[in-house]
Structures are given as structure tokens and as C-alpha cells.
Amino acid sequence: MKLTPVNTPGKRRRNDTVAIQPNKKQRVKHTSRRRDQLLPQSKLSDSMKNASPLELMPLEILERIFWFSGNINLPRASHKLGRFLSGIETRHCTFIYAFRPSWDAWFGLPALQGWTAPVLEGDPEFQSQLLQYSWVNIHFILDCWDFYVKGRFYKERSLSPLIDPDGPFAFHLHHVRLWGDPIESVAVLKAENHYRINPEKASDCFWHDYSAFGQYELSPVDLDRFLRNVPSFIRSNNNSPTHSFLQVHRDTRIPDELLSGPWDIADLQKLFWLVRGGASLSPDQTWELTYQGLRTAMYPDLPKKLRQCNRHVVRILMLLRAFQAWPQHLWLEVEQQQNAYVEMYPAAYTEDPFVLAAMGLCRLGNHEP
């Protein structure tokens, strides 16, 4: 007679590889897909162990915390936050969020001479902090502008389905050529001197104005005559120097390095975009800063034979009315320096472009020495 088999736990397994206890279900963690793509999968689990509650938030929520706070130092709080908030898409959305209130309120509207209406839309501190970054160059700014105008165009088109997309009332806003025409030497505001904004490439308006702004640089004008008569030359070659658009808050600060120099092409384009957009000097940007900027513009880091003054910078400083804030004693010192320089080196009178330009600026109405 055979013995009755006794079933013992762990015995008579159909497959020895099967564990006695069932596998525990892994807890599913809901994280942002966009954020997970920024980290390798091998390091993703390790990074989550030591992460703070803020770092564990989805990127979509983290972005909105960053935008609503207006605190530019949030990405600097930790390496993880900096890595999550440094994507090119996040940077574009951040810049558009900071400048959208100003763009929505004054889109396509020029600010003429004597314009005193306050621009309260937008956070000037947030805008100023973003402009300090080196990656906020003119190409980045215009990419954001193109994206904004395109979205505005399709939004208006969806709200007005009865309007002919090719008719005269479709996206009726126009770009006024405030800075002249690079093809025709006309720099005045006329009804026919404008064209429709292309919603697919709105940045063409900026390049049009920048080309017109730099046309006088290419004109065959004697450098010595320019340096001797800076105000009259600029006024004669710019019939509308006080016109600008309203694309930034009036209290937005121009970065100091854009005023003091030195400058490359990208710096000049960014400075022109700010001045064209209605930016002005801040109260704490005193005459010392613009004085250094004029000296840098008059003494480029080039060999003596190739040395030329940066006429773009001189013209922009005049548009900002920077020289009106210079103290009277500075003009007297410049005059004394010029007189002593001429007495000692009469043959080299034209060798110091800064002295000549300063004497030309002395002839401005409020600074007659």
C-alpha cells in the first residue's frame, strides 16, 4: 500500500524557475514625457530618488510656475531645474509669455514723437532679466515674434470665417516703414509707404527697417566731415528719428553691455530692436555709461589705418537722447582738451575722432559751452 502524498509548499512546482510568491506590482509614476526625454533612461531612476517635490513635477506644470512667478533665478536653483527649463521650446515659450502682454496691447501701433501714454502691459523686470541672457539674440527674438504673429493671424482668421483670406481686410494691420526704405531714399510716413505684414514671416519687417537704418552707413560721406558735424549729419540723413514701435515695456532696461560696447553685428541688431521697440534709458543708466559707449564707438579695436567710428552706435545714442544727460562740466573739459590738443599737435587735428565728435555734439541746443 502506497503512502498518501503530502503537499508541501514549494514542492511539485511545474517549473522550477517560477517563484513561490507572486511578483509585486510596480508602482506607476506619472512623469512628464518631455522631461523624461532630457535624461538617459539609466540615470532617470537615480535622479528621481534625490529629487525635491518641485523637481518631480511635470514639465508642463513647472513651466507655468516659472512663468507666473517671473523669477528668472528659478532655473538656477538646482541643476535639475536648470536642465528641465533650458530646452529651446521652453525658452521660446518663456520669452513669448514675458512679452505677449506688450505685443497684444500695441501690435502694429507706432509711437510718434511726444508720445506720453504709459505702457503698463507686461512685467518690465521679467523682460529685462530675459534680455540679459546671451542666447536671447536677434534670431531668437525674431523666431518668437514670427511664432506670435502667426498664432495671432490664425486666431483672427478663425474668429472671422466670413472674411476673404486674400481680401483687403484680411489681417489688416500693416508695417509702417518708420526707418525709411532701403530701396528708395524716402524716410517719411506716408499712406503709400507701408506694406501688409506677412503672417508667415513677420520678421521681414525688422530686417527691412534694419537695412534702411544702415543705408546711410554705406553712403560716400567723408569721415572727417561726419565727425565734425555729427548732429547735423544724422539729422539730415534721418527724417523720422523719434519714431518707434511699442514692442517692449517702457520701463524695460537695455542691457548695459549693449550701451557701453564693444559690439558685434548681433549686438547692434539687438540694440536696434530694443530702440525700435520703444526702449529707453533707465534712470540708473547715467552719463558715465553712455560716455564709455561713445568712446568705444570712436575707438574701435582696429589698426590705425582701418579705424572707423561706429556710426550705428552714435546714431542710436542720439535717438536715446543720451547726450542730453551729460553734465556741463564734461563739455567744458572736452573743449579744453580739444584746444590743448590743437595747440600741441595742429597737424594731427583730425587724428582724434572722439574729440571731433564730442565737439560736434557740443553744438546741440542744450549743451552749448
Q: What is the mean pLDDT of residues 313-320?
A: 83
What confidence category does residue 190 fall into, taking pLDDT thresholds of 50, 70 and 90?
Answer: very low
pLDDT band of 119, cuts 50, 70, 90: low
**Weakest mean pLDDT among 137-151, 199-213, 346-360:** 346-360
- Domain chopping of the chain, boundaries: 108-284+308-320
pLDDT per residue as tens digits for the range 166-182 = 544 445 555 655 555 44
The one-character DSSP state at 78 is: -
- Cis-peptide into 262, omega within 30 deg: yes
Whole-number mean pLDDT of the chain? 71
Kindly state the DSSP code that residue 284 receives in the 8-state scheme. T
Radius of gyration of the chain (CA): 31
Rounded CA gap, 130 and 128, in Å? 5
3-state secondary structure of 271: helix
Q: Residue 129 has what pLDDT?
A: 92
Indicate the range of 41-50, 72-81, 270-279 predicted with least confidence.
41-50
Cβ-based neighbour number of residue 75 at 10 Å? 20
Write the CB contacts of 326 (distance below 8 Å, at least 6 apart in sequence).
287, 290, 291, 367
The 3-state secondary structure of 176-239, one letter per residue: ECCCCCCCCCCCCCCCCCEEECCCCCCCHHHHHHHHHHCHHHHCCCCHHHHHHCHHHHHHHCCC
Per-residue model confidence as pLDDT tens digits over 36-47? 555 555 555 555
pLDDT, average across residues 98-104: 89
Residue 113 clears pLDDT 50, i.e. is over it = no
> What pLDDT is stored for residue 224 in this prediction?
55
Asked if residue 80 has pLDDT above 60, the reply is yes
- pLDDT at residue 148 greater than cutoff 70: yes
Rounded Cα distance between 218 and 319, Å, is 19
Phi-psi region of 180 (alpha: psi -120 to 50; beta: other; left: phi over 0): left
How many other β-carbons are positioned within 10 Å of the β-carbon of residue 196?
12
- What integer pLDDT is reported at residue 102 of this predicted model? 87
Identity of the residue numbered 26: Q
| Choice among 9-13, 103-107, 311-315 with the minimum mean pLDDT | 9-13
Task: Give the mean model confidence (pLDDT) for residues 135-155.
Answer: 88
CA torsion angle 186 191 197 203 (round to 10)? 30
Contact status, residue 182 vs residue 212, Cβ threshold 8 Å: yes
Q: Say if residue 196's pLDDT is above 70.
A: no
The answer, yes or no, to whether residue 59 has pLDDT greater than 80, is: yes
CB atoms within 10 A of CB 304: 6
Assessment of whether the complete model's pTM goes beyond 0.85: no
**Residue 91: pLDDT band by 50, 70, 90 thresholds?**
very high
307 pLDDT above the threshold of 80: no
Q: 196 or 155, which is more confident?
A: 155
Q: Which is more confidently placed, 110 or 236?
A: 110
Query: Which range has the top average pLDDT, 51-60, 127-136, 206-215?
Result: 127-136
User: From the centroid of its chain, how far is CA 197?
Assistant: 20
Least confident of 211-215, 316-320, 352-356: 352-356
